[in-house]
Amino acid sequence: MILTSGKKVSTKEKRWYKDVGLHFKTPQEAISGTYVDKKCPWTSDVSIRGRILTGRVVSTKMTRTIVIRRDYLHYIPKYNRYEKRHKNLAAHVSPAFRVEVGDIVTVGQCRPLSKTVRFNVLRVSKNKAAARAFGKF
């Protein structure tokens, strides 16, 4: 800290961040936070390209990684009916977000970040009502 004419002037450098595009807002924590994450889409060189998917969080037990469940209906032509199916998807979550089980998240495809992680969380919607209901995503 430097004192000039009675005013405090901070010598802290400005934090570098970027816009991921596709009309996703940069979280305030990514702009003003102090975390270091080399896989964050806002504060590192990871680019979002390809698919944008939505799903419900089912596990947050890994470090900076969550598991998302995507429910869908599969058509059986013989019986002219549908059956419920699901896929699990691992996604990296930046420290800019606070994610809990049951939240609805939007993820964007990026380069492979690990053996199973190919997506990055871009938006979190707190949705406790649909925690156990089957939803079409």
> Is beta strand 81-92 parallel, antiparallel or unpaired with respect to 119-125?
parallel
Cβ count within 10 A of residue 44: 16
Please write the tens of the pLDDT for every residue from 64-115. Answer: 999 999 999 999 999 999 999 999 999 999 999 999 999 999 999 999 999 9
Residue 137 lies inside a defined structural domain of this protein: no
Is the per-residue pLDDT at 12 higher than 80? no
Q: Which CATH number fits the domain that encloses residue 60?
A: 2.40.50.1000
What whole-number percentage of the chain has pLDDT above 70?
Answer: 84
CA nearest 60: which of 84, 92, 30, 34?
Answer: 92
> Is beta strand 65-76 parallel, antiparallel or unpaired with respect to 2-4?
unpaired
- Check: pTM over 0.85? Answer yes or no: no
Q: Give CA 74 to chain center in angstroms.
A: 26
Stated length of the chain: 137
Is the per-residue pLDDT at 40 higher than 80? yes
Q: What is the dihedral of CA 36, 91, 51, 100, to 10 degrees?
A: -100
Residue 111 lies inside a defined structural domain of this protein: yes
Residue 24 lies inside a defined structural domain of this protein: yes
Structural domain of 22: 18-125
Work out how many domains the chain is built from and give that number. 1
